[in-house]
Amino acid sequence: MLSLKTSIIGKKVIYYQEISSTNDVAKSLDVEEGTVIVADRQTKGRGRLNRKWISPEGGLWLSVVLKPKVAPQDIPKIVFLGAIGVVRTLEELSIPGRIKWPNDVLVNFRKISGILTEKVGEKVILGIGINVNNNTPENGIAVKDVLGKEVSLVHVFKILLENLDELYEIYLKSPGTIVELARELMILNVPVKVLGNGEVVGIAEDIDEDGRLVLRLGNGEIRKIIYGDVSLRFL
Ligand code: BTX
């Protein structure tokens, strides 16, 4: 029905009209690698650090179950795989998206998509939310706002899965390539505030080969920030 041209991702798709969170369902189910959980609405959509992700009908809310056999230090790179997949999908809709380190995709500095990765045992859940035809909270933006018209959610779903599948193959062979691809799409050389253990202000200069943010502080000192319990604000 979808005629997906993928080798791993989307071999099985489980659909709900309404669910708490596709990530929670993906975590609890014992399913084969590549299974996708997708829902029209989430009642408890989550972002990072227990933030709420608003998920009304009209958006694309899904989680992919992955079981990558890679070194532990390569697992966090999956968030970039998701973000690149979203940017490539938007590109196919003629929308120029950029990655805000580490897990958001922005259009005109407004959030069109967010990625939430979680590891449970051998499973890594790649959760992706894209505002497509839905109304968004303030500072959000949807595909329909950019294009001035609604688009087929099924079409966006299909091209996203195809992009993710292609990127997953690249990732399994060469996780570092995913970081390089993400770097090209990232918003860099902008002043930022990093919030986590206290506050650090600097210029987000680059990301390193492990995906850490390279921050240049006011005194010229370089600090590397690990994707963990931190969030980033543009200044
Ligand atoms: P995040 O923690 O980077 O972003 C969460 C923040 O984004 C919220 O605090 C709010 O300010 C803002 N926000 C909430 N909802 C939206 C929205 N629809 N559009 C734009 N901004 C919003 C980002 O977390 C990761 C989100 C992942 C969502 C997917 S959906 C499928 C899967 N299931 C699930 O529960 N989460 C993931």
Reported as a single tens digit per residue, the pLDDT across 67-124 is: 999 999 999 999 999 999 999 999 999 999 999 999 999 999 999 999 999 999 999 9
- Closest-lying ligand 1 atom to the alpha carbon of residue 20: 35
User: CA nearest 136: which of 104, 93, 96?
Assistant: 104
Across 56-68, average pLDDT:
98
CA of residue 129 to ligand 1 center, whole Å: 7
Interhelix angle 175-184/78-92, rounded to 10 degrees, is 50
Which pair of tokens denotes residue 132? 């497509």
Contact 129, 61 (CB under 8 A): yes
DSSP code, position 75: G
User: CA nearest 128: which of 96, 95, 163, 94?
Assistant: 163
Residue 192: HSE in the Cβ half-sphere, 13 Å Cα cutoff? 24
User: CA nearest 100: which of 216, 219, 194?
Assistant: 194
**pLDDT, position 53:** 98
Residue whose Cα lies nearest atom 14 of ligand 1: it is 53
The rounded distance, in Å, linking the Cα atoms of 129 and 230 is: 20
Is residue 205 within a helix (H) or strand (E), and if so which, with residue range? strand 198-207
Residue whose Cα lies nearest atom 19 of ligand 1: it is 140
Which pair of tokens denotes residue 207? 């990301």
Contact 124, 117 (CB under 8 A): yes
Which residue has tokens 């929670």?
A: 24
The rounded distance, in Å, linking the Cα atoms of 147 and 122 is: 39
CA of residue 173 to ligand 1 center, whole Å: 30
CA of residue 144 to ligand 1 center, whole Å: 18
Query: Length of the chain, please?
Result: 235
pLDDT at 227 over 90: no
CA of residue 65 to ligand 1 center, whole Å: 19
Residues with CB under 6 A from ligand 1: 21-23, 42, 45-49, 51-55, 61-63, 103-104, 111, 114-116, 127-129, 131, 136-137, 140
The amino acid at 9: I
pLDDT at 229 over 80: no
Across 193-206, average pLDDT:
94
Which pair of tokens denotes residue 181? 């691809």
- Would the ipTM clear 0.95, i.e. be above it? yes
- Closest-lying ligand 1 atom to the alpha carbon of residue 129: 30
- Closest-lying ligand 1 atom to the alpha carbon of residue 142: 19
Residue whose Cα lies nearest atom 4 of ligand 1: it is 47
Residue whose Cα lies nearest atom 36 of ligand 1: it is 46
**Of 36, 38, 49, 53, which is best to mutate to test ligand 1, by the most ligand atoms within 8 angstroms of its C-beta?**
53
**pLDDT, position 195:** 95
The rounded distance, in Å, linking the Cα atoms of 178 and 182 is: 6
Which pTM does this prediction carry?
A: 0.98
CA of residue 39 to ligand 1 center, whole Å: 15
Is residue 129 within a helix (H) or strand (E), and if so which, with residue range? strand 123-130
- Closest-lying ligand 1 atom to the alpha carbon of residue 140: 20
pLDDT band, very low/low/confident/very high, at 1 (cuts 50, 70, 90):
confident
Contact 131, 59 (CB under 8 A): yes
The rounded distance, in Å, linking the Cα atoms of 86 and 84 is: 5
